[in-house]
Every structure is written in C-alpha cells, then in structure tokens.
Structure 1
Amino acid sequence: MISLPELIVGQRINSSSKSVADALRSRDAAFLQTLARSQAASGARALDINVSAACARAEEPELLSWAANAVQEVSDLPLCLDSGDVCSLADAGRQCRVAPIVNSLSPDQIDDGALDRFDLRRPGQRFVVLCTRRDLAMDAASRLSWAEYAANRLFERGVSEEALIFDPLMFPLPSGAAIAEATFETMRGLRERWPNAGILCAAGNYSHGMRRRSAAERECIRLARSAGADVFLCDPAVFVSISH
C-alpha cells in the first residue's frame, strides 16, 4: 500500500496534450521518460498515464501497456493507469512491476463484471471508484449514493477500504461555482463515511479552460484539502509550491 498522508499523482503523461499524443503515436519512449523523470523530481509519488486520445479504442490496451513499460524503464514510482476501458486497465496493470492505481471503475462497469479482470488479492493495488453512473450525478447526495453502491460491491469481493480511492467528479470551474461546491461537499461526505479510503482531487480538471491554470489548481488543492481530499492528480510542482 502507498503509505503517504497525501499522494501526489503527476498528471502530465496525458494524451489530451498534443505533444504527448504525438509521442504516443510515434512510440517516442524518451519523451515520456523525460516527463516521468521531471515529475518525480518535482515531488510526484505516482505517475498518471492516459493514452485514450492518441488511438482508437481497439488499440488502447496495447498502447497503454507500451507506455507503462516505457515509463517503468526510468521510474519505480507506482503508475496510475488512466482509462475508461477496462481491458486496457487490466492488460496494462499486468505489466506493472509495482502495484498500480486503477483509474477508474464506474458502478456500471463493476456491475458488468469489471472486477473479474483483476487480481483483487494483489498487495498494494488501489482502485479509483467513480461516484456516478453513465448519466452524470451532479448533486452531492447522488454522488455519495453511487459511491456507497460501488464500495459495497468491492467490499463484497474482499477489497479493503484502504485500497479504494473515490473520485467525486471534479468539473471545470467555468461549469459553475455550484457544481464545484457539490464536488467539495461530496468530498466531505466521503471522508466522514470512509475515513481510511483515498479521495481524489483532479485539480487539472478544475482549471481546464482557464488562462491562469496554475493559480486555479492551487485554489482547487487548498479547497479540496480542507474538504478531506488526500490524493491529488495535478502538476506536482504546483502542489509543492503550496506546501512550501
């Protein structure tokens, strides 16, 4: 188990970035490895890898596995495998020397048998659980209800509370202050209900579409910390700048 009070997950190996997508398509391992090293040097304690925007869905399992292996050549940090495709998550997870963070599973995927694809007994493995079904839950009460539902399915299969990381759904701030507040309210409810689980703050989502993204991410991290979040998917340099 990753035993840190707060876990910083570096977000920069993400195919939503054109340069990362180009590197993934050209199999430029050195580019990804440079990002991995720089984030580790900035304080990341896990590394997110997302390839979904760089390939067709049928190609994603192979590409995510390739990227995971490329990063592991230069880093021993746990990988946060970031995909909406269960096959990609399971295949890449088997390539990980250090138990990964599986990011993420929805209640719908769990109902459809997603857990059967993973070795649930693997020590240190963690699962990010989405607090919604396919139709996005916007209010805190609905998100907490779906979190409870998904958590119970995982507990029934022997997954511990400590192995869960709840994703309360962070939307871009331009979507509206009320939506952002619902996310922070969800975090507070999650922390009260599951004191030993992780709670994810995707600060990069919060700042999406804003000119001063670093400032917005710092604001998001401060608010999320006070609401109980302890896993931060962000630029590690931004996180460290708050701590110092």
Structure 2
Amino acid sequence: MNTALTIAGTDPSGGAGMQADLKTFTAMKVYGMCAITAVLAQNTCGVRLIENVSIPMVEAQLDCVFEDIFPDAVKIGMVSSIPIIEAIAGKLRQYGAKNVVLDTVMVSTSGHRLIDEDAQSALTQKLMPLSDIITPNLPEAEALCGFAITDKASQQRAAEKIAEGYGGYILIKGGHFDGGDDMLYKDGRVRWYPTRRVETHNTHGTGCTLSSAITAGLAKGLPMEEAVERAKEYITGALASGLDLGKGNGPVDHCFAL
C-alpha cells in the first residue's frame, strides 16, 4: 500500500489540520501517518489557543516514521515557529524525503493568523526549496509575492514573482475572488483548473484537504498535473456532499465517497 505522512497541527473538531489530512488519505486509499507540530483548540467558529510541540518531540516523531515506514509522499501543514521549521527541514534533508507538498498555512478560514510573522521568511527559505509543490490561497500568495491579486492576470504575475526564488510547482487557489480558478505554474508553463462553484459556507479545512489530496495522488505515483486534477475533483465532491455541522464554517465531507 502507498503511504503518506502529514506534518501538521491538530483540529479537535476534525475538519482541518492533521485530522482532515488523515481522513483524506484514507478516502483516497493511501495509508496515512502523522507528526504533530502544534496542538490547537479550534472549531468551526475559530481558533482559541495554539500550543507548539517541543522540538525534540517533533524530531522524534519524524524519526519514528522515516526509520520504519518510509512515506511515498509528505504533506507539510501548519508550522508556526522558526525552530519547528528548521527541525522539519533538517529531517527532510536527512532522510531524503520525496514528493513534498507544502501547504503554506498562514491564516485560518476564520481569519486567525497561524504563523509568526518572523517565521514566514524561514518558511520560504528553508521549507520551500525542499518542496515539490506549494499550495497558497490568494491571501497567502499575496504575502509571498508582495502585491494584491485581483484577477487571473495578477494571479499569474504572482506565480512568476514567487518563482523567482522557488523552482517547484506553484498552485495558487483562486477561490477568494469571483470567477477565480486554480492555477498551476512551473517554469513558465501555466495550467488553469476551472473551479465548479458549490454554494456552501461549510469550507473549514478546504486548504488542508486539497493539499493532502494532492499528497495522496503523488504517493500513488501520479504525475503532478494529474494529482492536482484528482485532488480538485475530490474537494469538489467533499464540498458538494452537503455536510452541515457546527455553528460556524463547517467541515467538508471527507468521506463522501466511502
């Protein structure tokens, strides 16, 4: 069986973070493993408290996975401090991790900032070079490129700007403006993925879910463009299923096809 590792924070309400990643791996028939970077108190209404896991514990979790069940792909989610970023980067290099997906998590769906501002540069300098693809949403892409993204033209310019310091695939998700589609960019090549709009406010964990679905596809040996396409189909189905839980932005239905 193909295997995938998520390196991420938790969500006790089950819609985002490590819990969403593991559900997605299972739904896509990949054996999922996890290394926890932070314990969050959050639900569909927002984030209340974040407590980072110690560096020795982060490193020990990664050692346990890589030394025993080497993952076919790795997804990196919430990493909120420089020491954690450095620890993860060191272990990825040590073990020669492959098919690394970096979900550039900076802000939650509810608007809570999830990464220290001084850690953002460490993310770009230490983790991005080790990643095969990054998956920023529009606000995150704006933070990376330094200017506003309001349409497809500026979306492409943002990818070109980010690519000046990064050679992997860049998937900029366009769901934050009307008519926006997702754009995959690498080495000047652009592929647009049309987004089928699903009328729902239950979008908690969509970014985590999409990036982990891409990870599952890569773990199964799919080429990048097909892995993204399959992941897009999966997240659309999870949104369209109509799961309605919680008092805020509810979770998607990760198990809609099971």
User: Into which bin does the TM-score normalised by the smaller protein fall?
Assistant: 0.3 to 0.5
Return the structure number with greater helix share: 1
Which has the higher relative contact order, 1 or 2, with Cα contacts under 8 A spaced 6 or more apart? Answer: 2
